[in-house]
Structure 1
Amino acid sequence: MTVRLKDIASDLNLSKMTISRVLRGQTDVSAATKARVLQRMKELNYRPNIAARSLRSGNTFSIGLVIPSLSDPFFTEVARGLVQTVRAAGYGLLISSSEEDPEIERFEIGLQLSRQVDALLVASVQESTEFFDDLGQQHVPMVFIGRKPPSFGAHFVGVRDQDIGYVAAAHLIQTGCHKVAYLRGPRTAAADLRYSGYRAALNDFNIPFRPALVIEACEADRHEYRRGVEAMCRLLTEKVRPDGVMCFSDLLAIGVIDAALNKNLKVPEDIAIVGCGNQPLIQSMKVSLSSVDLAGLEVGQRAAKLVLRILSSEKVASNRSLYVSPRIVVRDSS
């Protein structure tokens, strides 16, 4: 026998409107009531009739997500946070990858819109706002996550990249490092902001800035691990050798650790090392890597809650930006 919305309402002595609010993820329902409703739905194996709901409301109860890479651990966590949150509100998530290609991103966004998604979340690789300016006529709520085109007014949820650089450098300094090197990533706005955070931490802790301790390490045609190895070998030939190294990514940092060990240096006694991304693989290394966690799960959860508020017609300030704080996860390397 098919379980209907009114059956759940009758069982719990609640109105159908309250049950509907829970399904839509609205925030004007108490946590206790929400828990009761979701538990009863689980017990009765309730499945919303999406087709009927779509006919009544004109919505598809689907949300589109376009990310640069399906293999990037940060965006994997973002997607997990999104799914966990929108599922409880009766929405499905349609995920596609732009493969770090602006043209593919434009195609995937068009495909998502053709599926009549109710909202769209994008981690954009576009270098200009022209494409999104044209999209403004679609009237589909859009939220940028992690990345967004520069100087474009839209909702955004992410982490301040300057804070990422600051947290990593400050941690090394607080552990006793006074000659902190930085292996920069690609020449992007995000990488430049992390570098600014590194410089700000040096300044706040009265640590002299040494240009020779900043290595570009951004050759796109070479694997990140190999770049880390080679950059560390270069640093060890400098007149002033670093006692701490922060890296744009975990893979760079893994290369740095291996290069240091191959030179018979002790980590962290001789040199402390911090990465960025907190990827799962770094915990099983010979020297587990300290890393800045980019809070992808929380970014996804907060982006989902923002989208659900917009879809439920709650009043949301225009072009709202929500920032999640990065945190250092301390392990053996520091």
Structure 2
Amino acid sequence: MPTIYQVAERAGVSLSTVSRVLNGKASVNRELRERVEKAVKELNYRPNSVARSLANSRTDSVGVLVSELNAPFFGDLMRAIELRLRAAGKHVIITVGRDCLETEKDAVEFLIGRNCDALIMHTEALSDEYLLKLNQSKLPIALVNRQVEGLSEACTTLDNEKGGYLATRHLLELGHKNIAYISGPIEKRDAKLRLKGHKRALSEAGIPANSELILEGNYTEEDGKLGLLELMARDLPFSALVCANDWIASGAISCARDLGMSLPHDLSIAGFDDVVFAHHVYPRLTTVSNPVANMAEMSAKYILNKVYGQPSEITLNFEPELIVRESTVRYEG
């Protein structure tokens, strides 16, 4: 098995130069870096990860905390992080918080116990104060779709209020005036902001928000099905429905079709997130983009820069976009 000494000898450089190249340091000039990389390839050298960890007090692993595993949203998030970190020679350890304070705290303790060099988190339950204290404990953190005062450089965010506004404004522009809404859990920041955007669009159009046309859900397909039935049982007219995510919208579409509705002519439906199945439901779903993969990748880049000295350009604030498909149509009533 080739050693680092043989790599240095083959490349004609010092051991410290080989070490800096293997650890991704930017302080090595291009010619020397290429010589080391060529020697590594020719010798089929594999760095000893344990030795590297002892040498630089790092494990080359990053902890990732997500709310769930069974949703395309979090699949896209984890994939983007893993791809970016793996390309940089780092590995991820993933755990789940389920939006529960104690479970999220336990997950963080688990990752700390695995000697992760940093944490990337999509968290709702952990308080700002807890996150600030965690970051101050010399364990760098990055937050996906969360803004914490004092951690602005570590936070990627989406303008959720604008996203909710865009969906409802689109329906208003199509002539709809009676627009129902199924939100996510109101205690969640993104759900609260999306509903706020919905109400702003109505207000700008001179239409008061009717609380009887607003339901709170839990971001599930079942909420879309039961929510549509509940709204119809209230016997109030509505020609369009905005859903706080695509799962809710998918459930509403399924329920509407089971009831014999002709979509979108009997009911226009819009979602939020633009997950993969939004292209495949019938009719194809009008929705608002949520670039979670881009936000997650930026969080990974931030950690690579902060912890491993691998600089790259980072974007922290993201804008949603309306994606118009066939589930919404001009109101002719």
Q: TM-score range by the shorter chain?
A: 0.7 to 0.9
Counterpart amino acid of 2:319? S
Alignment map for 1:75-114 (pairs within 5 Å): 75-114=74-113
Matching residue of 1:246: 242
Given that residues 167 and 322 in structure 2 are in contact (C-alpha distance below 8 angstroms), is that contact kept between their aligned partners in structure 1?
yes
Aligned-residue identity in percent? 25
- Could you tell me whether the CA contact under 8 Å between 1:213 and 1:242 is conserved in 2? no
**SS of structure 2 residue aligned to 1:71:** coil
Distance, in Å, in 2 between the alignment partners of 1:17 and 1:273 is 59
Query: Secondary structure in 2 aligned to 1:190?
Result: helix
Please show how residues 1-334 of structure 1 align to structure 2 within 5 Å: 2=2, 20=20, 24=24, 47-126=46-125, 128-147=127-146, 153=151, 155-188=154-187, 189-204=189-204, 206=205, 208-212=207-211, 214-218=213-217, 224-236=220-232, 241-313=237-309, 322-334=316-328
Contact between 1:182 and 1:247, CA under 8 Å: does it hold in 2? yes
Q: Secondary structure at the match of 1:183?
A: strand
- For 2:283, give the aligned amino acid: V
Look up the equivalent residue of 1:190 and give its one-letter code: D
CA distance in 2, matches of 1:234, 1:24: 57
Instruction: Tell me the secondary structure at the aligned position of residue 83 of structure 1.
Output: helix
| Secondary structure, aligned partner of 2:271 | strand
CA distance in 1, matches of 2:84, 2:9: 22
Gaps of 5+ in 2: 329-333
CA contact (8 A) 1:257 1:273 kept: yes
For the Cα contact (< 8 Å) 2:186–2:216, is it kept in 1? no
- Given that 2:21 and 2:33 are in contact with CA atoms closer than 8 Å, whether structure 1 keeps it comes out as no
Q: CA deviation at 1:194?
A: 0.6
The 3 A distance-change label for structure 1 pair 44 and 74 is: farther
Aligned-pair CA distance for 1:36: 12
> 5+ residue gaps in structure 1?
none
Instruction: Show the counterpart of 2:331.
Output: none
- The CA distance in 1 between the partners of 2:64 and 2:86, in whole Å, is 14
Which residue identity lines up with residue 106 of structure 1 in the other structure? K
Q: Give the Å deviation of 1:134.
A: 4.3
What is the CA–CA distance in structure 2 between the aligned matches of 1:37 and 1:74, rounded to whole Å?
A: 40
